[in-house]
Amino acid sequence: MPATVLDGNRIAAAIKAEVAEQVKNLSLRGLKPGLAAVLAGHNPASEIYVRNKVKTCEALGLFSEKITPPENITTEEMLALIAGLNLRDDIDGILVQLPLPRQVDSKRVLLAVDPAKDVDGFHPLNVGYLSTGRPGLVPCTPCGVIEILRRSRIPIEGQEAVVVGRSDIVGKPVAMLLTNANATVTICHSRTRDLPGVCRRGDILIAAIGKTGMITPEFVKPGATVIDVGINRITGRAEFDKYFAGDAKREADFAAKGSTLVGDVHPKVAEVAGALTPVPGGVGPLTIAMLMVNTVKAAAMRRGARHGLPRQDTEELKAL
């Protein structure tokens, strides 16, 4: 029996509807959450990402501002720009779209963002809050993974979870979130011995390694829940046939676009897993949805008391 498909688009739509209602209620108290998106240079993929984030803000009633410094901006100029956004009371979240131009020190820029406005959850202070189970701003994609599990009623507490990938953006924070939810967590990486054997222990398997189709059926415990965080683009015919031969729907998409997306999980894993996120339409849609959640949370934490938001409501928003 094929795996149950965990529909990220449906879950993201539900979260956005909740955010829109929260924004409406906050606006009645004169508090409109605001997000600033900083896009330096002209990276086509980054431009699409930022455009989608700004469009989502508008759809949900959040204030958004896109700031587009030139390609030749210096680190010091970027730091000055961030310092100005830190001081603006109408901006609750600051999103610095990566990658930045080559001459800019990305680490210095990200560290300069006020932790209270760090809606990406990258600042060491927010990482520390996450690791110690305190309320804070958590990276969006890992939050999305947890929401998929929670809203699909997949148990986390007491389960064995295996995370493949140890990046600061996904692997480490999702492992901490799973630990905080009382899972027993193993983090795997390129030097893990017997990687397939370790992965097969997982009741929940998170693939965030960035390698096309690396997780094959031999990596998966029968009936396990598999969350595929990877997004890889296939453009060659031979590679397409390796993953999607005989898939008429994918064939039509590939013929029309000249490419298709595949995650870190091989499509044949659907024959072994109990539940599986698709690519596209799985984890991806949750990233923007959780960015909106973080912006509302940041607004409540920063400005809620000043706008007469009841303590109970503020605490509920902090806990999102």
Residue from 16, 22, 53, 114 carrying the catalytic annotation: 53
**Distance from C-alpha of 194 to C-alpha of 9, rounded to nearest angstrom:** 34
State the residue for tokens 């949370």. Answer: 297
User: Is 120 designated active site?
Assistant: yes
Structure tokens at 104: 């800019």
Residue from 92, 120, 203, 228 carrying the catalytic annotation: 120
Half-sphere exposure of 105 (CA within 13 A, CB side): 9
Beta-carbon contacts of 21 under 8 Å, excluding residues fewer than 6 positions away, are: none
Residue from 22, 92, 97, 228 carrying the catalytic annotation: 97
Supply the residues annotated as catalytic.
53, 97, 120
